[in-house]
């Protein structure tokens, strides 16, 4: 297994926040959780749908898919002979993201409340919780939280494989089915036909925690945070210059730069993680935390990962390292990904080393994209293309045999 360019953290710094992360200093126990939020109400599926639709809740795993659409599909497909399934995905295979682990450490019962209220509304008889392989403490805290609960549908625990693509939804469903934890072709959405062909509502931990909060506090309270068009908050993981990853909860509409350290100022940042996009500093500085807003800027928020390495790190060289890692993380089962990502990595290395390779990169990107069972090749191509789209000055410096980020260049 190759080494990730941002290491998996042993420790995470979780900052108190306005909603999900309010009151975390009181600890993660079920007692503290019930004291803060009260008992979990029982709601029927129409009420739950109204709540989710009313605040426009979107999935927080990266794709920002409207949760109401998934929920409605699962509810419509469910029946006596097709019991729906609820899956909480905490696998968080990307080492630069730590927000789901942060929730496991500080707010496990908010995550579980979201899953339980939904399972009850859908009359689902089982909830599956998928734990991360590389984050022992978060997994242990989640196990302890599950052990504290009684009543509600049974919670089944699974542990994902230590692999970047293990958290892809089809790979998670394979794992729960008892098969290798690798992506397979999805012929139909999970909400229509997921685990054993049953309608399956699979979301990551933050999505479930947001839903838990919404059920516990109601829509009016939820809409007090964020903006009128985009209510609520989002979790961000900031890495790059701190010793530990920092997890913040911010309201939609907040300035992104407010969670960045001074050392990040003036330099490009990688937004959305290893499958994300580079942004030049003026873009980072002007960005507000928003799903549609950041899409318009060309830097989708994804799962809320912001890697801001500061002015001394070369984004091209760093991207080369990420792509080499991602090539090694391919499950190796889809031909274009198995062959294309190592070739893409080699072509990017050539460009980083100052050789001509742009045409070959474009050709390979075209051969890899949308030709696999999961989002891994597409995400890798998005990252590579973003370097050329957002940081042309860095690319031309390399083509001329230099680099904007080496100390000699900075000095001259």
Partner 1 sequence: MTRRLRVDWPACHGRGLCHELLPEIVELDEWGYPIVTGPVTDALRADAETAVSSCPRLALRLVKE
Size of site (CB under 8 A) for partner 1: 17
Query: Residue 342 or 402: which CB sits closer to partner 1?
Result: 342
Candidates 64, 334, 344, 397: give the one binding partner 1 (CB under 8 A). 334
Q: Find out whether 201 and 34 touch, Cβ atoms under 8 Å.
A: no
Would you state the structure tokens that stand for residue 71, as one six-digit string? 């929920």
Query: Residue 360, interface with partner 1 (CB under 8 A)?
Result: no
Compute the least distance from the CB of residue 112 to partner 1, in Å. Answer: 33
Stretch that binds partner 1, among 38-46, 115-123, 193-201, 364-372 (CB under 8 A): 364-372
What distance in Å separates the CA atoms of residue 377 and residue 274, rounded to the nearest whole number? Answer: 11
Strand partners, 87: 128, 202
Among 335, 355, 393, 409, binds partner 1 (CB under 8 A): 335
What is the separation of C-alpha 107 from the centre of its chain, rounded to a whole number of angstroms? 17
Question: Taking CB under 8 A as the rule, which mask of x and - marks residues 278-307 in contact with partner 1?
Answer: ------------------------------
Helices (H), 218-357: 219-222, 281-286, 291-296, 315-329, 335-352
Decide: helix, strand or coil at residue 288. Answer: strand
129 or 182: CB nearest partner 1: 182
User: Least distance from C-beta 162 to partner 1, angstroms?
Assistant: 20
Q: 350-359 long-range CB contacts below 8 Å, 24 or more apart?
A: 351/316, 351/395, 351/398, 351/399, 352/316, 352/317, 352/319, 352/320, 352/398, 353/398, 354/398, 354/399, 354/400, 354/401, 354/402, 356/399, 358/388
Nearer to partner 1 (CB atom), residue 140 or residue 366:
366
Q: Which is nearer to partner 1, 13 or 333 (CB)?
A: 333
Q: Does 183 bind partner 1 (CB under 8 A)?
A: yes
Q: Shortest gap between Cβ of 99 and partner 1 (angstroms)? A: 29
Which tokens sit at 67?
């949760």
Place of tokens 């950041």: 294
Which of 336, 342, 354, 402 contacts partner 1 by CB under 8 A?
336
Q: What are phi and psi of 257, to 5 degrees?
A: -65, -20
Q: How many CA atoms lie within 13 A of 72 on its CB side?
A: 10
Residue of the chain from 367, 375, 389, 399 that contacts partner 1 (CB under 8 A): 367
Kind of pairing between the strands at 246-251 and 233-239: antiparallel
Least distance to partner 1, CB of residue 381, Å: 15
Q: Which of 182, 267, 327, 404 binds partner 1 (CB under 8 A)?
A: 182
Which distant-in-sequence residues (6+ apart) come within 8 Å of 401 by Cβ? 354
Cβ neighbours of 94 (radius 10 Å): 25
Residue 217 binds partner 1, judged by CB under 8 A: no
Least distance to partner 1 from the beta carbon of 350, Å?
17
According to CB under 8 A, which one of 112, 121, 184, 280 is a site residue for partner 1? 184
Instruction: Work out how close the CB of 372 gets to partner 1 at its nearest, in angstroms, rounded to a whole number.
Output: 5
Q: Which is nearer to partner 1, 179 or 224 (CB)?
A: 179
- Out of 53, 193, 217, 339, which residue is the one contacting partner 1 (CB under 8 A)? 339
> What would the x/- binding string for partner 1 be over residues 304 to 333, using CB under 8 A?
---------------------------x-x
Reading the block at residue 363, the tokens are 């050709």
Residue 334 beta carbon to partner 1: minimum distance, rounded to whole angstroms: 4
Q: How far apart are CA 185 and CA 189, in angstroms?
A: 10
Interface with partner 1, residue 185, by CB under 8 A: yes
Distance CA 19, CA 135 (A): 24
Is residue 167 a contact residue for partner 1 (CB under 8 A)?
A: no
Residue (174 or 251) nearer to partner 1, CB: 174
Helix (H, G, I), strand (E, B) or coil at 136: helix
Q: Which is nearer to partner 1, 183 or 212 (CB)?
A: 183
CB 113 within 8 A of CB 36: no
Closest distance of CB 184 from partner 1, Å: 6
Interacting residue ranges for partner 1, rule: CB under 8 A: 182-185, 187, 331, 333-337, 339-340, 367, 371-373
């Amino acid at each position: 297994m190759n080494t990730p360019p941002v290491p998996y953290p042993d420790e995470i710094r979780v900052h108190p926040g306005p909603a999900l992360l309010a009151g975390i200093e009181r600890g993660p126990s079920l007692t503290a959780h019930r004291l803060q939020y009260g008992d979990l109400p029982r709601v029927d599926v129409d009420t739950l749908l109204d709540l989710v639709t009313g605040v426009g809740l979107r999935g927080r795993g990266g794709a920002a898919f409207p949760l109401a659409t998934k929920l409605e599909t699962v509810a419509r497909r469910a029946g006596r002979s097709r019991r729906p399934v609820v899956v909480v995905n905490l696998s968080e295979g990307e080492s630069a993201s730590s927000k789901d682990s942060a929730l496991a450490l500080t707010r496990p019962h908010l995550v579980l409340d979201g899953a339980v209220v939904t399972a009850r509304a859908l009359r689902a008889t089982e909830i599956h919780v998928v734990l991360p392989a590389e984050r022992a403490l978060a997994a242990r805290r989640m196990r302890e939280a599950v052990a504290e609960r009684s009543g509600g549908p049974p919670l089944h625990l699974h542990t994902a494989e230590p692999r970047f693509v293990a958290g892809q939804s089809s790979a998670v469903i394979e794992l729960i089915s008892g098969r290798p934890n690798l992506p397979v072709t999805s012929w139909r959405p999970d909400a229509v036909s997921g685990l054993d062909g049953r309608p399956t509502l699979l979301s990551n931990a933050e999505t479930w925690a947001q839903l838990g909060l919404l059920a516990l506090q109601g829509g009016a309270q939820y809409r007090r945070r964020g903006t009128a068009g985009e209510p609520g908050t989002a979790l961000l993981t900031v890495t790059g210059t701190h010793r530990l990853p920092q997890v913040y909860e911010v309201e939609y509409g907040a300035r992104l730069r407010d969670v960045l350290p001074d050392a990040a100022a003036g330099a490009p940042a990688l937004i959305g993680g290893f499958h994300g996009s580079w942004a030049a500093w003026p873009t980072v500085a002007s960005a507000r935390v928003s799903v549609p807003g950041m899409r318009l800027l060309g830097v989708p928020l994804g799962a809320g990962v912001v890697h801001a390495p500061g002015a001394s790190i070369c984004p091209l060289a760093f991207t080369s390292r990420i792509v080499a890692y991602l090539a090694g993380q391919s499950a190796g089962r889809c031909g274009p990904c198995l062959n294309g990502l190592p070739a893409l990595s080699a072509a990017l290395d050539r460009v980083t080393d100052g050789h001509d390779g742009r045409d070959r990169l474009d050709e390979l990107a075209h051969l890899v994209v949308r030709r696999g069972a999961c989002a891994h090749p597409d995400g890798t191509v998005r990252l590579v293309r973003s370097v050329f789209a957002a940081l042309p000055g860095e690319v031309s410096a390399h083509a001329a045999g230099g680099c904007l980020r080496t100390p000699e260049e900075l000095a001259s």
